């Protein structure tokens, strides 16, 4: 028994720590290097970042890509991105390289750079869209001209130790692997060309590497019970509590208070949960064949606008969504047989941006779900979501025994009996 419990505990911890997201099992960011030409000892490569994650994008201030050269390679020039540091190029005379560091770090250029510094899919300030939302926005690319690099696919050495920040930590990148060369279509689409050599690096995200605490929480309410179940206290850690701002504070009328800080430091509204974002799920109506839910997302950070936000919800009735008002909805089918997860995002020019905390810092929608007579119930918290993610990070739900009860004494007795049983089991484990 004790072995079983600790094994279970280990499994839970392990599954949380692993870089694996059950709602997006194939999600990753792939970095692809295509060598387009060789010159004696130099090559020109196109580096492409593809975000294959369904609902996790890279927000402003954007991605940072680093690697370590295998030998003494230098970067003569870069188009569409730039190295953050040039490093020591004193061994060169005349032509000075763009970057001489053995571990260069690259960032995207900002929109609006001169035409001759641009490259296809570049210059978006490092913002990389989510694949499930807009595949055409989920790609970023730049061109490098690399020197002291070998003269052919036999002498070139793959860079090592790729790192991806997006913009904070959370991504882990694997080794570069040589893959079949990429095939390109010429602009008139009548001729195919191919890269001279291609290698790929795959990076995956883990929330636990990204941050110690959740970054959002869920509160619940229903038409059948007046209790609003709030987010658990200090869900997102209370270290920032000393600097939080009351919503009626005079500070908020000062000019520049909303300007984002370079280090992305938030300025949070004081709440018990201290989360930058809260998702509220309200079970609104129960009709004969349908039921209705209202979802609202509130931003508590005065220094952050969330552009192209995503909300992912797992609930067994999402296979029968009939109508979603004022959000876009798209079912995600991570496993062929299960259709219980979906992604919501804002409507373009209407609410695809979740504004900074304050009077406009929220977005909301209602949805109508068709009841499946065999599964639908208001009991045991069934009507509440199983998992909620905002911008790809899982939100903390309240403990299940705190969910709004259906006013039905028999059910409450049942629940308190099961609470009693579980307490008893905990007690047994504790004295073991």
368 HSE (CA, 13 A, CB side): 8
Binding of ligand NAG at residue 245 (CB under 6 A)? no
Binding of ligand NAG at residue 319 (CB under 6 A)? yes
Kindly state the smallest distance separating residue 163's Cβ from ligand NAG, in Å. 9
Binding of ligand NAG at residue 173 (CB under 6 A)? no
- Element (H or E) spanning 6, and its range? helix 2-17
Identify which range of 6-14, 122-130, 236-244, 300-308 contacts ligand NAG by CB under 6 A.
300-308
Binding of ligand NAG at residue 307 (CB under 6 A)? no
- Element (H or E) spanning 74, and its range? strand 74-79
What does the alpha-carbon distance between residue 131 and residue 273 come to, in Å, rounded to a whole number?
31
Listed in sequence order, the DSSP H helices in 172-325 are: 207-210
Binding of ligand NAG at residue 266 (CB under 6 A)? no
Closest CA to 128 of 163, 161, 162, 167: 167
Residues 337-376 that bind ligand NAG (CB under 6 A): 339, 355-356, 370, 372
Considering only 26, 39, 243, 422, the residue that binds ligand NAG (CB under 6 A) is 26
Considering only 32, 56, 278, 292, the residue that binds ligand NAG (CB under 6 A) is 32
Binding of ligand NAG at residue 321 (CB under 6 A)? yes
Number of residues that bind ligand NAG (CB under 6 A): 40
Considering only 89, 137, 402, 415, the residue that binds ligand NAG (CB under 6 A) is 402
Q: Residue 37: how many CB atoms within 10 A of its CB? A: 11
Closest CA to 2 of 423, 418, 428: 428
Cβ proximity of 406 and 384 under 8 Å? no
Considering only 30, 118, 148, 364, the residue that binds ligand NAG (CB under 6 A) is 30
What does the alpha-carbon distance between residue 76 and residue 69 come to, in Å, rounded to a whole number?
14
Can you tell me which residue has the tokens 């938030």?
Answer: 266
Kindly state the smallest distance separating residue 5's Cβ from ligand NAG, in Å. 28
Tokens describing residue 199: 């290698």
Binding region for ligand NAG (CB under 6 A): 26, 28, 30, 32, 48, 50, 52, 68, 153, 160-161, 178-179, 197, 200, 202, 225, 227, 229, 258, 260, 303-305, 318-321, 331, 333, 339, 355-356, 370, 372, 402-405, 407
């Amino acid at each position: 028994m004790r072995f079983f419990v600790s094994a279970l505990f280990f499994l839970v911890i392990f599954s949380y720590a692993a870089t694996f997201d059950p709602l997006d099992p194939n999600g990753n960011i792939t970095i692809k290097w295509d060598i387009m030409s060789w010159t004696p000892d130099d090559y020109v490569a196109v580096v492409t970042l593809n975000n294959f994650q369904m609902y996790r994008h890279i927000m402003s201030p954007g991605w940072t890509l680093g690697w370590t050269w295998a030998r003494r390679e230098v970067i003569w020039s870069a188009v569409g991105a730039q190295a953050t540091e040039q490093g020591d190029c004193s061994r060169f005379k005349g032509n000075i390289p763009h970057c001489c560091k053995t571990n260069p770090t690259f960032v995207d250029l900002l929109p609006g750079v001169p035409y001759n510094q641009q490259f296809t899919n570049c210059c978006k300030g490092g913002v990389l869209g989510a694949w499930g939302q807009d595949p055409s926005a989920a790609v970023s690319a730049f061109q490098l001209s690399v020197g002291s690099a070998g003269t052919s696919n036999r002498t070139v050495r793959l860079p090592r130790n790729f790192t991806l920040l997006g913009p904070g930590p959370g991504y882990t990148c694997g080794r570069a692997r040589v893959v079949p060369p990429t095939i390109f279509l010429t602009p008139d689409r009548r001729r195919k060309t191919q890269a001279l050599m291609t290698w790929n690096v795959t990076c995956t995200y883990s929330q636990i590497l990204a941050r110690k605490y959740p970054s959002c929480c869920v509160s619940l309410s229903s038409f059948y019970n007046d209790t609003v179940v709030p987010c658990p206290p200090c869900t997102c850690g209370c270290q920032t509590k000393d600097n939080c701002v009351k919503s009626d504070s005079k500070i908020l009328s000062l000019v520049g208070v909303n300007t984002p800080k370079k280090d992305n430091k938030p300025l949070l509204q004081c709440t018990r949960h201290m989360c930058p974002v809260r998702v509220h799920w309200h079970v609104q109506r129960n009709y004969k064949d349908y039921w209705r839910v209202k979802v609202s997302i509130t931003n508590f950070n005065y220094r952050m606008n969330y552009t192209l936000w995503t909300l992912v919800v797992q609930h067994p009735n999402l296979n029968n969504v009939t109508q979603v008002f004022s959000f876009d909805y798209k079912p995600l089918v991570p496993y062929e047989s299960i259709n219980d997860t979906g992604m919501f995002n804002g409507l373009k020019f209407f609410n695809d941006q979740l504004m900074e905390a304050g009077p406009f810092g929220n977005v909301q929608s209602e949805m109508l779900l068709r009841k499946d007579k065999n599964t639908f119930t208001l009991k045991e918290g069934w009507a509440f979501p199983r998992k909620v993610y905002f911008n790809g990070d899982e939100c903390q739900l309240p403990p299940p025994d705190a969910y709004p009860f259906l006013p039905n004494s028999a059910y409450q007795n049942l629940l308190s009996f099961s609470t009693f049983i579980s307490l008893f089991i905990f007690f047994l484990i504790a004295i073991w």
